[in-house]
Amino acid sequence: MPNGAVAHADPHGPASAAGFGAGGHDHAHHPALQHHFQTLDQQHEASTLGMWIFLVTEVMFFGGLLMAYLLYRVWYPEAWSEGSEELDIVLGGFNTVVLIGSSLTMAFGVRAAQTGEQKATVRWLLLTIGLGLTFLVVKGFEYYHKWELHHIPGPNFSFEGPHAAQVQIFLSLYFGLTGLHALHMIIGCAIMGVITWMAHKKRFTPEWYTPVELAGLYWHFVDIVWIFLFPLLYLVDRARQLS
């Protein structure tokens, strides 16, 4: 036959040796197995690969804004210094601790799902959501403060300083970067809510906990973005302010 393909009558012939179950089902399979996959393992590998590829797109998505940031930091160091000074290091630092903490609780949540500790999974996930919401509330306060000071770029922008125009660029990128990050946090919290509900309904077992794992990957990614945003936005030229 062309292409060397062999049609075989026995569905559990050479195919099984290769680890694939061809043909009809004469065995029960996990309820989470989708029918276009041969095995749960194949499905799990496909799902995690898919999430990693999605995270690649997210890296490039933030990358465009980071390129703009990089260029203007090189061009306008004084404006970057003045702009960064306007941001609250205490709140930013607190949020960094909160978010890294939420990554820890998320990692524990995945681990609990791996070991079949269902109630612990729910607790860790709830804690993660709580920390995520804390982050967002603090961010909300920061944004509100900026709005009060007329530091939001646009027609109502007003800033006292010799480099006000370029500080507006800095703040545009601040709101662009942290706003995009916050949007990802909100979506993350919503996803975590769904996952927590599924965990509460005892959907996860050590054989299948893929959604928890995928949500974990996404959550850690959002944490990593903030790990970069904090020094890039809040810690520019702070030494000068002491002198």
Partner 1 sequence: MTTTVLPRVNYLNVRHTLASWLFTKDHKRIGLMYLVVVTAAFALGGVFAAGVRIELTTPEGDFVSADTYNRLFTMHGVAMVFFVLIPAVPAILGNFVLPLMIGAKDVAFPKINLLSWYVFVIGFVFTLAAMAFGGVDTGWTFYTPYSTQFSNSSVMLTGIGIFITGFSSILTGLNFMVTIHRMRAPGMTWFRMPLFVWALYATSIVQILGTPVIAITVGMLALERALGFGIFDPRLGGDPVLFQHLFWFYSHPAVYIMILPPMGVISEVIACFSRKPVFGYSFVAFSSLAIAIFGFLVWAHHLFVAGISPYSAMVFSFLSFAVAIPSAVKTFNWTATLYKGAIWWQAPMIWVFGFLGLFLVGGLTGLFLASLGLDVHLHDTYFVVAHFHYIMVGGAIMGYFSGLHYWWPKMTGKMYSNSAATFAAVLVFVGFNLTFFPQFILGYLGMPRRYHVYAEEFQVLNVMSTAGASLLGVGYTLIASYLIHSVFRGRAAGDNPWGATGLEWETQSPPIPENFDETPIVTGGAYEYTKRGAKVA
Partner 2 sequence: MAGHISPKSTYYTIFGSLMVLTAVTVSVAFVNLGALNFPVALSIAILKATLVILFFMHVKYSSRLTKLICGTSFFFLLVLFGLTLTDYLSRGWFAAPGGTAGAGTQVTIGPAAPEPASVEP
Q: Which residues bind partner 2 (CB under 8 A)?
A: 40-41, 44, 48-49, 52-53, 55-56, 59-60, 63-64, 66-67, 70-71, 73-75, 77, 89, 93, 96-97, 100-101, 103-104, 106-108, 111, 114-115, 165, 206-208, 213, 216-217, 220-221, 223-224, 227-228, 230-232, 235-240, 242-243
* φ, ψ for residue 208, nearest 5 deg: -145, 105
Q: Which range of residues in 41-49, 120-128, 136-144, 187-195 is near partner 1 by CB under 8 A? A: 41-49
Q: Which range of residues in 1-9, 83-91, 108-116, 209-217 is near partner 1 by CB under 8 A? A: 1-9
Can residue 144 be called a binding residue for partner 1 (CB under 8 A)?
Answer: no
Contact at 8 Å (CB) between 98 and 225?
A: no
Contact at 8 Å (CB) between 65 and 179?
A: no
The type of residue at 72 is Y
- Within 13 Å of residue 233, how many CA atoms lie on the same side as its CB? 28
> With b meaning 16 or more CB within 10 Å and e meaning fewer, what string describes 126-140?
bbbbebbbbbbebbe
Contacted by 185, from partner 1, partner 2, none: CB < 5 to 8 Å by type: none
Hey, CA dihedral for 37, 40, 51, 184, is it positive or negative?
A: positive
Give burial (CB, 10 Å; 0-12/13-18/19+) of 192: buried
Contacted by 157, from partner 1, partner 2, none: CB < 5 to 8 Å by type: partner 1
Q: Which is nearer to partner 2, 75 or 141 (CB)?
A: 75
Nearest-angstrom CA–CA distance, 84 and 230: 10
Question: Which residues lie across from 48 on neighbouring strands?
Answer: none
Nearest-angstrom CA–CA distance, 29 and 40: 9
Q: Which is nearer to partner 1, 43 or 102 (CB)?
A: 43
Binding site for partner 1 (CB under 8 A): 1-8, 11, 14-15, 18, 20, 22-23, 35-36, 38, 42, 45-46, 49-50, 53-54, 56-58, 60-65, 67-68, 71-72, 75-76, 79, 153-155, 157, 165-166, 168-169, 172-173, 175-176, 180
